[in-house]
């Protein structure tokens, strides 16, 4: 399956995970690693949205922006910025040379069924 995915896409390799939490955790780690190695050790900021859900590990609940899931575990991973969903101006206001990733759900399900506008996603 991995070989077929590589042949059908731009990817040079694939990594299989057991869950969405693991997939998201790996994506966040890879984004930071790539940015730190290729650009700057200070390029670690992840921009995420309030009321999002990306899994139940410490890193993914921290990116999720819902205190009911992330509070009570002590210090959270650094450089995660939460902005209002569907607010492109808020994203642009916090995006800078330290940003390594912007993570967005096209439809937020955990925070209420809220769809991103086409303009926001573009």
* Cα-based torsion angle of the residue sequence 105, 107, 108, 114 in order, rounded to the nearest 10 degrees: 140
- Are the C-beta atoms of residues 63 and 103 closer than 8 Å to each other? yes
Q: What is the pLDDT of residues 65-114, one digit of tens each?
A: 899 999 999 899 999 999 999 999 999 999 999 999 999 999 999 867 99
Are 49 and 84 contacting, i.e. CB atoms less than 8 angstroms apart?
yes
pLDDT of residue 112: 77
Q: In what order do the strands lie in the sheet with 45-49?
A: 80-83, 45-49, 99-102
- What pLDDT score does 59 carry? 95
Q: Is 22 left (phi over 0), alpha (psi -120 to 50) or beta?
A: alpha
pTM, two decimal places: 0.90
Q: Which pLDDT belongs to residue 110?
A: 83
In this predicted structure, the answer to whether residue 23 has a pLDDT above a threshold of 80 is: yes
Q: What is the pLDDT of residues 33-71, one digit of tens each?
A: 999 999 999 999 999 999 999 999 999 999 998 999 999
Q: Where are the domains of the chain?
A: 20-121
pLDDT of residue 20: 96
Element (H, E) at 83: strand 80-83
What is residue 65's predicted lDDT score, i.e. its pLDDT? 86
CB 103 within 8 A of CB 82: no
Mean per-residue pLDDT, 12-36: 96
Position of tokens 């969405």? Answer: 20
Domain 20-121 matching CATH 3.40.640.10: the answer reads yes
């Amino acid at each position: 399956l991995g070989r077929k995915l590589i042949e059908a896409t731009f990817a040079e390799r694939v990594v299989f995970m057991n869950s969405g939490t693991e997939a998201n955790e790996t994506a966040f780690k890879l984004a930071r690693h790539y940015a730190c190695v290729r650009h700057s050790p200070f390029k670690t900021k992840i921009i995420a949205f309030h009321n999002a859900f990306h899994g139940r590990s410490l890193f993914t609940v921290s990116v999720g922006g819902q205190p009911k899931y992330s509070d009570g575990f002590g210090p959270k991973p650094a450089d995660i910025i939460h902005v209002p969903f569907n607010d492109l101006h808020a994203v642009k206001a916090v995006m800078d040379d330290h940003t390594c990733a912007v993570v967005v759900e096209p439809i937020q399900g955990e925070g209420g069924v809220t769809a991103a506008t086409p303009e926001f996603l573009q």
